[in-house]
Amino acid sequence: DAKTTQPNSMESNEEEPVHLPCNHSTISGTDYIHWYRQLPSQGPEYVIHGLTSNVNNRMASLAIAEDRKSSTLILHRATLRDAAVYYCIRLGTGNQFYFGTGTSLTVIP
């Protein structure tokens, strides 16, 4: 199974960009990279996913390293509502989604 590593916590000032890193050095060539977030007292919420190219959607951008051993979730302008735990997903051999402990993002007003 692939493994992921994320910092336990990060802080950002409101309205500034946030770069959340993830190392997935054992990822296989066909595995997609997924990010989810969990707001307090809610279920996980899909954020973004990608394979090789950088991806953008209304919530965030995903920058994938050329060797695919790391990725960065980019929130372009952090708001207080973005305070959450962000998970970079580890895929199992059967494409199960495994969650680590994630990165707890604090947004400072």
Partner 1 sequence: NAGVTQTPKFQVLKTGQSMTLQCAQDMNHEYMSWYRQDPGMGLRLIHYSVGAGITDQGEVPNGYNVSRSTTEDFPLRLLSAAPSQTSVYFCASRRDRLSNQPQHFGDGTRLSIL
Residue 62 sits in the site that holds partner 1 (CB under 8 A) = no
Residue 44 sits in the site that holds partner 1 (CB under 8 A) = yes
- Residue from 18, 87, 105, 107 in contact with partner 1 (CB under 8 A): 87
Residue closer to partner 1, measured from CB, 78 or 91: 91
Map residue 29 onto helix, strand or coil: coil
Residue closer to partner 1, measured from CB, 43 or 109: 43
Residue 43 sits in the site that holds partner 1 (CB under 8 A) = yes
Q: What is the footprint of partner 1 within residues 15-34 (CB under 8 A)?
A: 30-32, 34
Amino acid at 32: Y
What distance in Å separates the CA atoms of residue 90 and residue 26, rounded to the nearest whole number?
Answer: 10
> What does DSSP assign to residue 96?
-
Supply φ then ψ for residue 87, to 5 degrees.
Answer: -115, 130
